[in-house]
Amino acid sequence: MREPPHTAAMDDHGHYLEPDQLLAERSRPLPRMALSSRARAGLWALRVFSVLLSAMVVYVFVVQLGR
Amino acid sequence: MPAGATADGRSIALPPSLSPEDIARSQDRFRVYNARRRGSRWLVLWLLVGPGILAMLGENDGPSMISYAATGAAYGIGFFVPFIVITFAMAFVCQEMCMRVGAVTHRGYGQLVLERFGRLWGWFAAGDLILTNLVTLVAEFVAIRVGLAYFHIGAAVAALLGVLLVVLTLSGGRYWRWERIVLALAIFNALFLAAAILTGPSWGSLGRSLVTFSPLPGGGLNTLLLLVASTIGATVTPWMIFFQQSASADKGLTPTDLRQGRCDTIAGAVGATIFGIGALVAGAALFAHGGSQIDGLAGAGFPGALARVSGRLVATLFALGLIEAGAVAVLTISASTGYAVGECIGAPHSLNGSARGAVAFFGANAGAALVAGATILIPGVPLLAIALNANVLATVLLPVALVFMIVLASDRELMGQWSNSAVRNRVAISIVAFISICGAAYAIDSFLQIVHVV
């Protein structure tokens, strides 16, 4: 991939950032992604699964500490 | 218009919309632009490497090296040597996505999850990260403490050194400066390789194990599952995802830099694999002695045990390596905490900013280190158990973070031509499934044993 050509904007503005690299642009929120109900259910299932496993790991760790 | 200056000192007029953070990043981009224009490929690479090496070597952290050494001491040279190679190959797939998403969107992981999936998911992601980071940071301070203890230096000095290091590196005021300091420190991860070579390992056994995945580990299933989950957690973790994406954006990477970003990530993965195997091989020197001499510092006293088996030089190198591994990880993990907090509350979050302008970012960065440093001062803390369980906790929370990363990297609206291909998605989903199964196997088996069901 090649460096984009030198533009007049670079000289005029004295900066070498892409427009969407500027802080003002990066702070502009992006639109929400449209998730299907199946995708949402999948994310929640994964979330519950990871919380349950974390709880098990923490519980085992705490019990082992007490021994 | 306010006055500013380019990296070569030229005085220029700046549009009012440019923040000090933009100016600092623009100066870094100016050097990349000039190097490319002159055709200096190596200089371009030098200017653009950083986030990938730091994420990978940062993950060769204290608990990871202790975990590798514990694996070597428990099972010798065998199955876990090629397993480390596989886990770092998985880490490359995950981290390449982080780099690519950061370079294309110029936004951190936390910010993207928050904006694309909503506040609830953003806060879940940040909450997971802060929890695992705090536990992992404690383990990093444990590693520094274990290393310093070999030189008869106490826990208070370990805590103070770690916190001071974070504060001093943050005071540089520039991402570039911070990154180069941490990179210079990270080179000393190679001490584990030196220690391994000095133990005089059997190169034939090492080569055979890499090809044949043998000998397979024996012993109890639960210990084996703990070490498998812990080894995975020693190579791919939630903080790496946050860190590399946010650091790539903070550094100012663009889609033009993807090739260099991949080289950076590969270099980090290769280095981390070699040094990680080095820690395992050094630990394997204790295998013939049943690993029973690792009795100091609540089971994490590897340097002392190595001194008795392989000599003082190996032990010294291993102890210095642990201090380095802990120190680099304290810096990178604290930074990832700062990025996550800043991105999720919508506050400024850049190492190119000032502490006064980004209180939440710098406060979370130093605060996380402070809390973790204070924890190791508690007497009788089980150091080896914390180190191994920090990795396991990271493993069980990782699949959620990875799924969001895959969705973001496949989002054509966001990534355009740089979105994941179908093949990449299949590979990434297989990795998530593998990590989920390994984490679940240990968590469920341990839990059932504790409640006396099995």
Identify the band that residue B393 occupies on the pLDDT scale cut at 50, 70 and 90: confident
Closest Cα in chain A, distance from residue B139 (Å): 14
User: If contacts are CB pairs under 8 Å, which of residues 7-26 in chain A contact chain B?
Assistant: 13-18, 20-26
What confidence score (pLDDT) does residue A14 get?
A: 54
What is residue B70's predicted lDDT score, i.e. its pLDDT? 84
Closest partner CB to A3 (pick from B36, B389, B407)? B36
Question: Between residues 380 and 399 of chain B, which touch chain A (CB distance below 8 Å)?
Answer: 382, 385, 389, 392-393, 396-397, 399
What residues in A contact B440, CB-CB < 8 Å?
A: 49, 53
Measure B276 CA to nearest chain A CA, in Å: 25
Q: Find all residues with CB under 8 Å of B16, minimum gap 6, and list them.
A: B1, B2
Domain around B53: 40-248+256-450
How confident is the prediction for chain B on average, in pLDDT? Answer: 88
CB atoms within 10 A of CB B424: 17
**pLDDT confidence bin for B5, thresholds 50/70/90:** very low
**Structural domain boundaries enclosing A50:** 35-67
B445 close contact with A: CB closer than 8 A: no
> Per-residue pLDDT for B383 more than 90?
no
Alpha-carbon B185 to chain mean position = 14
pLDDT digits 0-9 by tens, B173-198: 899 999 999 999 999 999 999 999 99
B263 contacts chain A (CB < 8 A): no
**Residue B328 in tokens:** 């680099």
Q: How far apart are CA B38 and CA B207, in angstroms?
A: 43
Give B73-106 pLDDT, tens digit per residue: 888 898 899 999 999 999 999 999 999 999 999 9
B269 pLDDT tier (thresholds 50, 70, 90): very high
Task: Return residues 2-21 of B near A (CB < 8 Å).
Answer: 4, 6, 12-15, 17-19, 21
Q: How far apart are CA B335 and CA B341, in angstroms?
A: 10
| Confidence (pLDDT) at A8 | 47
| Banded pLDDT at B3 (limits 50, 70, 90) | very low
Q: How confident is the model at residue B135 (pLDDT cuts 50, 70, 90)?
A: confident
User: Is position A14 within any domain?
Assistant: no
Length of chain A as a residue count: 67
- Smallest Cβ distance to B33: which of A3, A27, A30? A3
Per the structure block, which two tokens stand in for B131? Answer: 């929890």
Are B6 and A14 a contacting pair at CB < 8 A?
Answer: yes
Exposure string of B380-413, with b = 16+ CB inside 10 Å and e = fewer, is ebbbbbbbbbbbbbbbbbbbbbbbbbbbbbbbee
Res B298 pLDDT > 50: no
pLDDT at B236 over 70: yes
Give the contacts of B416 (CB within 8 A, at least 6 positions apart).
B104
Distance CA B130, CA B145 (A): 22
Q: Is residue B28 part of a domain?
A: no
Quick one: pLDDT at residue B302? 84
Amino acid in the structure at residue A30: L
**Number of domains within chain B:** 1
Percent above pLDDT 70 for chain B: 93
> Does residue A43 sit within a domain?
yes
Of the pLDDT bands very low, low, confident and very high (cuts 50, 70, 90), residue B334 is very high
Rounded to a whole number of angstroms, the distance from the CA of A67 to the nearest CA of chain B is: 11
- Cα separation, B174 vs B294, in Å, equals 42
Interatomic CA distance for residues B413 and B105, integer angstroms: 11
- Overall number of domains in chain A: 1
A67 at interface of B, judged by CB pairs closer than 8 A: no
Contact A57 B446 (CB under 8 A): yes
Per the domain annotation, does A15 fall within a domain?
no
What's the CA gap between B57 and B269, in Å, rounded? Answer: 8
Q: What part of B 83-112 touches A (C-beta under 8 Å)?
A: 106-107, 112
pLDDT at A11 over 70: no
Q: How confident is the model at residue B2 (pLDDT cuts 50, 70, 90)?
A: very low
B76: closest CA among B220, B233, B217, B191?
B217
On whether any CB of chain A is under 8 Å from the CB of B117, the answer is yes
Structure tokens that stand for B320 in this block = 């210095």
Q: Which pLDDT score, from 0 to 100, does residue B14 have?
A: 52
A30 touching chain B per CB within 8 A: yes
Q: Provide the mean pLDDT of chain A.
A: 81
CATH number of the structural domain spanning residue B336: 1.20.1740.10
Of B17, B258, B411, Cβ closest to residue A22: B17
Band (B267; pLDDT cuts 50, 70, 90)? very high
Among residues B96, B65, B54, which one has the least CA distance to residue B333? B54
Q: What does the pLDDT read at residue B6? A: 47
- Cis peptide bond prior to B215, omega within 30° of 0: yes
Confidence of residue B335 (pLDDT cuts 50, 70, 90): very high
Distance CA B307, CA B316 (A): 8
pLDDT at B433: 93
Quick one: average pLDDT of B270-284?
Answer: 95
> Is the pLDDT assigned to residue B407 strictly greater than 70?
yes
Higher pLDDT, residue B163 or B295: B163
Alpha-carbon Rg for chain B in angstroms: 22
Q: What is the band of B318 on the pLDDT scale with cuts at 50, 70, 90?
A: very high
> Of the candidates B406, B414, B416, which has an alpha carbon nearest to the alpha carbon of residue B95?
B406
Confidence class for position B357, pLDDT limits 50, 70, 90: confident
Q: Is 50 exceeded by the pLDDT of residue B7?
A: no
pLDDT in tens, B196-228: 999 999 899 999 999 998 888 877 788 788 888
Considering only CB atoms, B33 lies closest to which of A14, A16, A46, namely: A16
Residue A6 reports pLDDT greater than 60: no
Give percent of chain B above pLDDT 90. 58
pLDDT band for position B16 (50/70/90)?
low
CB proximity B116 to A under 8 Å: yes
Does a structural domain hold residue A30? Answer: no
Cβ(B59)–Cβ(B143) below 8 Å: no
In three state form, how does the secondary structure of chain B look?
CCEEECCCCCEEECCCCCCHHHHHHHHHHHHHHHHHHCCCHHHHHHHHCCHHHHHHHHHCCHHHHHHHHHHHHHHCCCCHHHHHHHHHHHHHHHHHHHHHHHHHHCCCHHHHHHHHHCHHHHHHHHHHHHHHHHHHHHHHHHHHHHHHHHCCCCHHHHHHHHHHHHHHHHCCCCHHHHHHHHHHHHHHHHHHHHHHHHCCCCHHHHHHHHHHCCCCCCCCHHHHHHHHHHHHHCCCCHHHHHHHHHHHHHHCCCHHHHHHHHHHHHHHHHHHHHHHHHHHHHHHCCHHHCCCCCCHHHHCCHHHHHHHHHCHHHHHHHHHHHHHHHHHHHHHHHHHHHHHHHHHHCCCCCCCCCCCCCHHHHHHHHHHHHHHHHHCCCCCCCHHHHHHHHHHHHHHHHHHHHHHHHHHHHCHHHHHHHCCCHHHHHHHHHHHHHHHHHHHHHHHHHHHHHCCCC
Residue A25 inside a domain? The answer is no
Region B295-310: mean pLDDT is 73
Closest CA to B138 of A61, A33, A42: A61
Question: Does the beta-carbon distance from A4 to B256 stay under 8 Å?
Answer: yes
CB-CB: which of A6, A20, A60 is closest to B450?
A: A60
Backbone φ, ψ for residue B13 (5° rounding): -95, 135
Q: Residue B94: which residues within 8 A CB-CB, separation 6 or more?
A: B236, B240, B241, B402, B405, B428, B431
CB contact under 8 A, A30 and B411: no
pLDDT of residue A28 exceeding 50? yes
Residues 33-62 of A with CB under 8 A from B: 33, 35, 43, 46-47, 49-50, 53-54, 56-61
In this prediction, residues A23-46 reach a mean pLDDT of 91
- Provide the ipTM: 0.82
